[in-house]
Structure 1
Amino acid sequence: MAELFCIGTLQGASGYPHAELCAKWAFVAGDAWELVEGEESGQTQVDVPGEDERYTVWSHPIDVHYTTRSLSGWPKLVFQVFRQDMFGRNELYGYGFVHVPTTPGTHVLEVATWRPAGTLMDQVWSFFLGATPQLKSMDLIHNPSDRFRLHTIAMGKIHVTLSIAVRGFEKHGVSL
């Protein structure tokens, strides 16, 4: 079987209206992919930078090892970003995803995020109460099937560093 190793760090985030952020993350892979070691999902801590700072620092580790029988369903890294207000409430600040790079080596990735805009009433509700619209199905984040129907608002970026190592793909005629 072919093997994929992903070792990296969720460095942080930038470009958001507020910087008191945390992120939930998860690897999503096809049926032919099997997790051998590591955590497939997790959550960062909430970073509370100073007043003038606009960069959120997480430095959260990622380390997974997959085996596969097929290239179909190559892993993706999916994110949900939340802002924690002074009352400890978590407000959705964005969704995003990135395909795990297919080439070995170290990759610095920027993941653009977005959130649903909702109706005008949803936007007023969000402004006064911090209750932003959320997706009912997390599959919409990384599957393009119905995502084109969504009205969204661009948010900030997540910064990720991933080191990729592969083994055994050349035995199956795949050169990465």
Structure 2
Amino acid sequence: MAVRPPVSKSNVFLLMVTGEIESAEFPEYDGLYCNFSFFYGQDWTVLSNSSEGITQTSMRGSSPASNFVWNFPIDVTFKSTNPFGWPQIVVSVYGVNSLGRDEVRGYGSIHLPVTPGRHSLDIDMFVPEPASKLQKLVSWLIGPRPELVDPKFVARGEGREITRVSSQGFVRANVNIVMKDFSKQGYRNGTERFSNNSS
């Protein structure tokens, strides 16, 4: 009687993310929309749904303190063999300038939470600044302001120390994190005492 070899267990874990790009605060502007995507390491793969999106344009409202509300859904599932390169959500906010052209209002990124549950994330935004006073004057007179060639640059460490930026509002995202088979791969995120099966 032949003995069947043991079935090998999967060496991957899943990270499921749902939620929304909720709102933003940019006191100086009106009529903004947000472009979002995810930046992750080479061991990560998008398993289902979309890892990027673009919201509708939102107006601030009558009150100067009003936020821009998008409530744009996020729904993506990742699989990976190790936590290195944990996904970051990357957001870019744009508006229309006085010449009718789209112009960046801010870039930002933040790592997704490493614990299951619902989380509210405030993503600090910044804009690149011209390298000289002359470039700043030219940008102010004829536009457009400096932009990044690749918005995902903000999620990388290389070259960030030589980039001149200024703070510019924030974007709020709400995410629900569900993890599967994370602890089975030998990783710990502080939730094992509550549930060894789902994290």
- Structure 1-normalised TM-score? 0.92
Look up the match of 1:31. 42
Segments of structure 1 that go 5 or more residues without pairing to the other structure are none
Structure with the bigger percentage of strand:
1
Q: Does 1:60 align with 2:72?
A: yes
Q: CA deviation at 1:87?
A: 5.7
> For 1:71-92, what per-residue CA distance to the aligned partner results, in whole angstroms no more than 9, with x for missing partners?
1111000111111246642111
Which secondary structure does the structure 1 equivalent of 2:144 belong to? coil
Pair 65,81 (structure 1): closer, same or farther in 2 beyond 3 Å: same
Residue 87 of structure 2 aligns to which amino acid in structure 1?
Answer: P
Residue 13 of structure 1 aligns to which amino acid in structure 2?
Answer: A
Q: CA deviation at 1:126?
A: 3.3
Structure 1 contact 110–158 (Cα < 8 Å) conserved: yes
Look up the match of 2:90. 78
Look up the match of 1:4. 15
Which secondary structure does the structure 2 equivalent of 1:71 belong to? coil
Structure 1 contact 13–56 (Cα < 8 Å) conserved: yes
Look up the match of 2:159. 146
**Structure 2 residue corresponding to 1:115, chosen from 123, 127, 132:** 127
**Structure 2 residue corresponding to 1:125, chosen from 133, 138, 149:** 138
- Structure 2-normalised TM-score? 0.82
Task: Identify the structure with bigger relative contact order (alpha carbons < 8 Å, sequence gap 6+).
Answer: 1
> For 1:52-111, what per-residue CA distance to the aligned partner results, in whole angstroms no more than 9, with x for missing partners?
344101110000011111111110001111112466421111110000110000000100
Structure 1 contact 40–64 (Cα < 8 Å) conserved: yes
Q: Who wins on radius of gyration, i.e. which is larger?
A: 2
Cα distance in 1 between the residues matched to 2:98 and 2:149: 26
Which secondary structure does the structure 2 equivalent of 1:82 belong to? strand
Q: How many aligned positions are there?
A: 176
Cα distance in 2 between the residues matched to 1:97 and 1:116: 14
Pair 83,16 (structure 1): closer, same or farther in 2 beyond 3 Å: farther
Cα distance in 2 between the residues matched to 1:87 and 1:99: 35
Residue 107 of structure 2 aligns to which amino acid in structure 1?
Answer: Y
Which secondary structure does the structure 2 equivalent of 1:133 belong to? coil
Q: Does 1:105 align with 2:103?
A: no
Segments of structure 2 that go 5 or more residues without pairing to the other structure are 1-11, 190-199
**Superposition CA RMSD, Å:** 1.6
**Structure 1 residue corresponding to 2:182, chosen from 162, 166, 169:** 169
Which secondary structure does the structure 1 equivalent of 2:166 belong to? strand
Deviates most, 144-153 or 12-21: 12-21
Look up the match of 2:170. 157
> 4+ runs of 1 displaced by more than 6 Å?
none
Pair 125,57 (structure 1): closer, same or farther in 2 beyond 3 Å: farther
- The sequence identity of aligned pairs, in percent, is 26
Q: Does 1:42 align with 2:49?
A: no
